[in-house]
A and B are shown apart, each in its own frame.
Chain A
Amino acid sequence: MSAHASHAPKRSGLWDWLTTVDHKKIAILYLIAGGLFFLVGGFEALLIRLQLMYPEASVVGAKTFNELITMHGTTMIFLAVMPVIFALMNAVVPLQIGARDVAFPFVNALSFWLFFFGGVLMNTSWFLGGAPDAGWTSYPTLALNQYSGHGVDFYVLGLQIAGLGTLIGGINFLVTIINMRAPGMTFMRMPMFTWSSFVTSGLILFAFPAITVGLVLLMFDRLFGGNFFNPDAGGNVVIWEHLFWIFGHPEVYILILPAFGVISEVVSTFSKKRLFGYSSMVFATALIGFLAFMVWAHHMFTTGLGAIANTLFGLATMLIAVPTGIKIFNWLLTMWGGQITFPTANLWAVSFIPTFTIGGMTGVMLAIPPANYQYHDSYFVVAHFHYVIVGGLVFGLFAGLYYWWPKMFGKMLNETLGKWNFWTFFIGFHLTFFPQHFLGLMGMPRRVFTYLKDQNLDVGNFISTIGVFGMTIGTILFLVNVAVTAKSSKRAPADPWDGRSLEWSIPSPPPEYNFAQTPLVRGLDAFWIEKMAGNKGMTPAEPLGDIHMPSPSFLPFLMSVGLFIAGYGFLYHNYVVVVIGLIVTFACMIARSVKDDPGYHIHEDEIEDKGVKA
């Protein structure tokens, strides 16, 4: 095929971002959108803690408080940390396996836009009569029409649209990792971050359908007078709890496994050692992924499932401590005997280890059903899952961002600001959440908009709110750091950290086509092996030639807008709008199906990095 005949039109500015199918640009879109939702969710958290700073305060009202906790949880899980995980997966996984893009670049863009419009739809509820207020778990009957406002409809529809994006994103990464690995990149040579992304994608594939079923049933109950969860008409409230947690528990591992992957990469790089016990790490990751589906009822110990179910689910949950312990000790032994340096990326990674250990330990304590009857739905649980999700996942994401920022943007984040960012956030985090363990045991239920004066809960709550200021300052310092870095003219080298995996063998940021020539992989830590052998770069597995690239497309954006419009149609029972929205989406699908898209070629002469002749 001649190169110029199918050349992509040069696109620039906004139009480029709206039509891109390049995994590196989609990573940046995910990061920006996820980052914005993170700020929204963080602001909600700040208001929550201000309301709870003093007993019987009235910073926000009772109903607003329930809206804030619902949107804080839903936003942080679905719209903030998951997209930032997808940002890292998009930015890094294709590079780590030596691929030029993901398996389905068009679908990749669609994943992003579906998530984005689902999230926007949900958040517009604030301006359209009130946000969802039945908790991020939205248990019926509270989440049914009789007991909660219009906001829950936004939850039901927003999550369905966003969840669709996540599901197809997970499928995309499964296919990418199975099919797109460079020659020599066997499964047992894949970097740990790619491995954890692989297992996470598998969990997404099996977990998201469960919540989709739940949301569809809830939608029928709320919008079309169904009675799936209405006990007055023969429905059953516990079925929702099962569907939610069959998704909800694997979701926890969907979140934490990529963080485990980041920590494995960062700790190993900055100890200058290969990951200790690589194969047991892979095994532990897969085992955690498997056990993730066997333990959902530990979120329902007080639902009344009985002694046998509770005991079995409790024991199964305890088992997860074994593979998790393997990981902790492997990281410690990776550092053992190394030459550890502490740039900000590694500060986050190293501090992850004891912090996450605390979250894991309270997890084992929670797995004991009789004791769980005291912990459940108290602030002890709030402390536990924030130690896992913030002290684990968010620390991991910060480690990953500081580590891969040069690869994503071609510039290094400022180290001085980075350390301030780390220490304020780290101290603030522990101040906020450590006292909450005790508040729970002292009788404070979660999701309470206030507490009475005479119940000895004042000191813990006050300290907790002070801690939030530290986390707020830390977050602001990160934003300052991003701005300062963006303004700086200093370019990052290709391999600033003396890295070990393939992404460090190509320029920062990588060219559109990633690898001028697909690399040949000779073992785990592929790039490190070449460096140790005295080679300047990877050995190519193919001769230099024209590179085939996928065409940019506006269709993913339009398809998502169609569902976005249809969503509002459902929300206001206006079925003309529903039909218009669905027509937009289906028309785009038909256009995509019938129109042949040959992509385009980057000619051999246009490839900047000529590489080595194979």
Chain B
Amino acid sequence: MGMKGWQQFWRQLSLFVLLALALTGCGKDELSALKPSGPVAAMQFDLMKLSSAIMVGVFIVVVLIFTYVLIRYRKRPGQQGIPKQVEGNHALEILWTVIPFLLLIVMAIPTVTTGFALHKDYTKEEALQVNVTAHQFWWEFEYPDLGVATAQDLVLPVGKKVQFHLTSADVVHAFWIPALGGKIDTNPGQENKIWLQADKTGTFYGKCAELCGASHALMDFKVEVLDQTAFDKWADRMKGVQAAEPATAAGASAAQGQEIFDKSCLGCHAVAGKGGKMGPNLTNFADRERVAGILAHTPENVAEWLKDPQKVKPGNNMPNLNLEDQQVKALVDYLNTLTVK
């Protein structure tokens, strides 16, 4: 393969890359780190842009020299003699030691300033405090100052700093909302802190980023960002509901479902002011974006989960209750009454 092949290859590669980018864009608004929707993600994105720009610059220099050398100094037919054996060149060697060093300093300064800005602790300031506990394979969210607990759907007010306190109930997980900012591990037996802020209302996608078992890939959660009034309203209603006993469901099927729930589910799942903490809190189950963090919120999918939780999320801790179809339907009806909206 001669030089033509090389040039052609690089041209095709770059064309291909552009094509791939055009096809996928920069990812989904709700999920992509390339579409920052808050100050943390924005600062991180600025560092990404700065470092990629410098790196692409360096790469272009390398590839230019590389291409020139390969074209100019390839052995030509009939070429004789031995090339000059060059030991080195001090000026050049100093040059390519000093220039990278200077480039690193350009990157180092914002690295230090941003680094310390991101590690600020807003625990004692006017920030919303949220305790996060990661479980195989779901997320528990608690608002200690508001007296509210929920799971899977994290509800946040727009434009306000949120100070997270994170830990894990079992293995190491990592808490990641790419559009709002980078991740932090949740270590069992320790507390980690991170602050984030959303500058847009809407729904963002969160992920677990540290291998945590069979259903690591399915440990998604949602972030619902509301304006301050809507958030306050949500928090008030949650607080009210969770301070009281569960309401009695209306309708025959839902009532039967509640009976089954109280007997078989309440030991692990809390509803309103009652129930265990082993599984996700279901106080506002009907308001959630997804079932089990991944499936569309339809009665069919709730039923699918109840019939065989292991099929949807392998390795999760919910046992198969071996429910009959009629019981499943009753439970679905009951669960869909659990709303605070």
| Residues of A near any B CB (own CB < 8 A) | 61-63, 66, 133-135, 139-142, 146-148, 231-232, 235-238, 271-274, 276-280, 302-304, 306-307, 310-311, 314-315, 318-319, 321-322, 325-326, 328-330, 332-333, 335-342, 347, 350, 353-354, 357-358, 361-362, 364-365, 368-374, 376-378, 419, 423, 427, 430-431, 434-435, 438, 441-443, 445-452, 454-457, 459-460, 463, 532
Whether the Cβ atoms of A441 and B182 lie closer than 8 Å is no
Say yes or no: is B252 at the interface (Cβ < 8 Å to chain A): no
Say yes or no: is B305 at the interface (Cβ < 8 Å to chain A): no
| Residues of B near any A CB (own CB < 8 A) | 1-2, 9, 13, 16-17, 20-21, 23-28, 31-34, 41, 43-45, 47-48, 51-52, 55, 58-59, 62-63, 65-66, 69-70, 73-75, 79, 82-89, 92-93, 96-97, 100-101, 104, 107-108, 111-112, 114-116, 118-119, 136, 170-172, 174, 176, 178-179, 181-185, 187-190, 192-193, 205, 207-218, 220, 294, 314-315
User: A235's closest neighbor in chain B, by CB?
Assistant: B189
Point out the residues of chain A lying under 8 angstroms from B43, CB to CB: 370
Known: A311-B115, A443-B31. 13 other contacts (CB 8 A): A133-B214, A139-B210, A237-B190, A304-B184, A314-B115, A322-B97, A329-B96, A376-B183, A447-B211, A450-B217, A456-B28, A456-B31, A460-B24
On whether A326 and B97 interact (CB within 8 A), knowing A445-B209, A448-B216, the answer reads yes
On whether A442 and B31 interact (CB within 8 A), knowing A271-B83, A456-B25, the answer reads yes
User: B17's closest neighbor in chain A, by CB?
Assistant: A434
On whether A339 and B187 interact (CB within 8 A), knowing A277-B93, A322-B104, A447-B216, the answer reads no
User: Which A-B residue pairs are the 10 nearest by beta carbons?
Assistant: A373-B182, A231-B189, A442-B27, A448-B217, A307-B119, A443-B31, A304-B192, A361-B55, A339-B75, A277-B88
Point out the residues of chain A lying under 8 angstroms from B192, CB to CB: 304
Point out the residues of chain A lying under 8 angstroms from B170, CB to CB: 141, 146-147
Whether the Cβ atoms of A455 and B190 lie closer than 8 Å is no
Whether the Cβ atoms of A371 and B23 lie closer than 8 Å is no
User: B193's closest neighbor in chain A, by CB?
Assistant: A304
Whether the Cβ atoms of A377 and B216 lie closer than 8 Å is no
User: B63's closest neighbor in chain A, by CB?
Assistant: A354
What are 7 A-B interface contacts by the 8 Å CB criterion? A236-B189, A302-B209, A339-B73, A368-B111, A371-B47, A374-B45, A427-B9
User: A334's closest neighbor in chain B, by CB?
Assistant: B86
Point out the residues of chain B lying under 8 angstroms from A325, CB to CB: 58, 96-97, 100
User: B36's closest neighbor in chain A, by CB?
Assistant: A374
Whether the Cβ atoms of B63 and A370 lie closer than 8 Å is no
Point out the residues of chain B lying under 8 angstroms from A459, CB to CB: 20, 23-24
Whether the Cβ atoms of B66 and A63 lie closer than 8 Å is no
Whether the Cβ atoms of A376 and B21 lie closer than 8 Å is no
Point out the residues of chain A lying under 8 angstroms from B82, CB to CB: 272, 532
Whether the Cβ atoms of B74 and A340 lie closer than 8 Å is yes
**Complex Cα–Cα for A340 and B76 (A):** 9
Point out the residues of chain A lying under 8 angstroms from B214, CB to CB: 62-63, 66, 133, 449
User: B20's closest neighbor in chain A, by CB?
Assistant: A435
Whether the Cβ atoms of A374 and B111 lie closer than 8 Å is no
**Complex Cα–Cα for A333 and B69 (A):** 8
Whether the Cβ atoms of B87 and A443 lie closer than 8 Å is no
**Complex Cα–Cα for A148 and B172 (A):** 13
User: A240's closest neighbor in chain B, by CB?
Assistant: B172
On whether A373 and B183 interact (CB within 8 A), knowing A314-B111, A456-B24, the answer reads yes
**Complex Cα–Cα for A77 and B145 (A):** 48
Chain B CB count within 10 A is highest, among A333, A371, A378, for A371
On whether A347 and B66 interact (CB within 8 A), knowing A304-B192, A430-B13, A455-B28, the answer reads no
On whether A274 and B85 interact (CB within 8 A), knowing A365-B51, A373-B181, the answer reads yes
Contact pick for B83, options A272, A318, A322, CB 8 Å: A272
Contact pick for B52, options A135, A365, A457, CB 8 Å: A365
Contact pick for A333, options B26, B52, B92, B187, CB 8 Å: B92
Whether the Cβ atoms of B215 and A342 lie closer than 8 Å is no
CB distance from B92 to the nearest CB of A (A): 7
On whether A371 and B315 interact (CB within 8 A), knowing A142-B171, A278-B87, the answer reads no
Whether the Cβ atoms of B104 and A368 lie closer than 8 Å is no
Whether the Cβ atoms of A451 and B217 lie closer than 8 Å is yes
**Complex Cα–Cα for A463 and B209 (A):** 23
Point out the residues of chain B lying under 8 angstroms from A307, CB to CB: 115-116, 118-119
Whether the Cβ atoms of B217 and A449 lie closer than 8 Å is yes
**Complex Cα–Cα for A303 and B20 (A):** 33
Contact pick for B73, options A63, A133, A338, A445, CB 8 Å: A338
**Complex Cα–Cα for A302 and B207 (A):** 14
**Complex Cα–Cα for A65 and B43 (A):** 35
**Complex Cα–Cα for A442 and B36 (A):** 11
